[in-house]
Amino acid sequence: MELFSEYGTILIILAACFGFFMAWGVGANDVANAMGTSVGSKALTIKQAILIAMVFEFAGAYLAGGEVTSTIRKGIVDSAVFSDKPDLLVFGMLSALLAAGTWLAIASFMGWPVSTTHSIVGAIVGFAAVGVSNDAVNWGKVSTIVASWVVSPVMAGTISFAIFRSVQHLILTQDNPFDRAKKYAPMYMFAVGFLMAMVTLLKGLKHVFKDVGIDMSYGDNVLVAVGFGILVTIIGTYLLSKVERDLTKEEGNRFYNVEKVFAVLMIFTACSMAFAHGSNDVANAVGPLAAVVNVVNAGGDIAAKSSMPSWILLLGGAGIVFGLATYGFKVMGTIGRKITELTPSRGFAAELGAAATVVLASGTGLPISTTHTLVGAVLGVGMARGIGAINLRMVGSIFLSWVVTLPAGAGLSILFFFFFKGVFGG
């Protein structure tokens, strides 16, 4: 096609820039809320959280984020509709990246934790429905994504509520909380090891296994996760024996030493959630970018075999890390401090509840949003202490930003789509 031979390099450069911008938004917003519980509970400093996320998010994005080229194209839009007009698909994907990146930048500036998946979905639905054809959109897929607005936070909130209630009942309300923490911590350590292994296997490593020809069933993953849970329990019990009780600190806060125990556990949850998140959500930035690169390189042949060049994953991973490091503090503050007051024990319950939700959703095929899951988990922990422990005004703002995300992404995408169509004479 003449457009691709004449402007192919420019289109790929634009896609790379917009893909990096979108990845920056993922880092500033999505990664920040994933690490917000650890920072808000003071289990980790902002610098430590950024360092952990830099290593594990990048590793997840680069090592395990490869199975993403067809996710966006074949899931929400019917690529067959574009077979005679591949230029519209390229303009649409450029518009979607720029629109979603712009909305994430606005949301991050306001401190709103929004779903990066919903941002890119809204953007793709917008250009496809208005710029191409209403039939180009898989509306059934879109409806399941909208359903996740309710499913994700309710499921995560319920599980986190139950976990924190168990912490309260077994440890915090007892006469000797530190001794009780040492007694019951191995049980929670096994849960951490098991659930984090499941999240990593189901969300992070499944693409790596697929590439090397390893086919693991859900049952196989459970067995591996049980083994990892036992290993974490053994290591954690050893580390726990090194935690010394500081009686002077307990005079001002009787839970000081208990929270030290949960702070150790939160380091494990933060590392694993970061890896799983990087592998899963890098798709939102590099999926449309890979679609543009493949269509341009194939001269407009939509049916050509897709590939994922390693430079695209590198770009996505670098963008995510850069976004978190430069502007992640804003959303971290919302998740960690503005919804409800978090301590390591509360943050632990929230992260474990979020991980359990991801595992359950992966096993049952339920569509969920990482952002909505984590916010729901924090709300669940807050509810365990009573409705007065929750900042309802902030929760209202967050819910409103969730509702606005799809139409905002769609509206911006439509504007950019007709702009690119006009500029390149589509």
Task: Judge whether 171 and 258 are in contact, CB under 8 Å.
Answer: yes
Determine the straight-line distance between the first and last CA of the chain, rounded to whole angstroms: 12
Quickly count: other Cβ atoms within 10 Å of residue 10's Cβ.
Answer: 11
In this structure, the chain runs to a length of: 426
Quickly count: other Cβ atoms within 10 Å of residue 247's Cβ.
Answer: 10
Task: Judge whether 262 and 352 are in contact, CB under 8 Å.
Answer: no
Task: Judge whether 319 and 21 are in contact, CB under 8 Å.
Answer: yes
pLDDT on residue 3:
80
Written as tens digits, the pLDDT of the chain (426 aa) is: 678 778 888 999 999 999 999 999 998 988 877 788 888 888 888 888 888 888 888 877 777 665 544 444 446 787 777 878 888 889 999 999 999 999 999 999 998 888 888 898 899 999 999 888 888 888 887 887 777 778 889 999 999 999 999 999 999 888 888 888 888 888 988 988 888 788 777 766 766 677 677 778 888 889 999 999 999 889 888 887 877 788 888 777 888 888 888 888 888 778 877 776 777 677 788 888 888 888 888 877 776 556 677 888 889 888 988 998 888 888 888 888 888 888 889 988 998 888 888 777 766 666 677 788 888 999 999 998 888 888 889 889 988 998 899 899 999 999 999 999 998 875
- Cα 368 to chain centroid, rounded: 10
Task: Judge whether 29 and 251 are in contact, CB under 8 Å.
Answer: no
pLDDT on residue 71:
45
| Tokens describing residue 139 | 């509306």
pLDDT on residue 303:
62
Closest by Cα among 179, 186, 368 to 276: 368
Report the C-alpha gap between 257 and 305 in whole angstroms: 57
pLDDT on residue 17:
96
- Cα 340 to chain centroid, rounded: 21
- Cα 355 to chain centroid, rounded: 11
Name the H helices within 127-217.
139-167, 177-199, 206-211
Amino acid letter for position 212: V
pLDDT on residue 414:
95
C-alpha atoms less than 13 angstroms from C-alpha of 311 in its C-beta half-sphere: 6
pLDDT on residue 164:
92
Q: Which residue has the tokens 């059934």?
A: 140
Q: Which residue has the tokens 């306001």?
A: 110
Report the C-alpha gap between 56 and 274 in whole angstroms: 5
Sign of the four-CA dihedral 336, 339, 345, 351: negative
Task: Judge whether 57 and 319 are in contact, CB under 8 Å.
Answer: no
153-168: string of b/e by CB count within 10 Å (b at 16+)? bebbbbbbbebbeebb
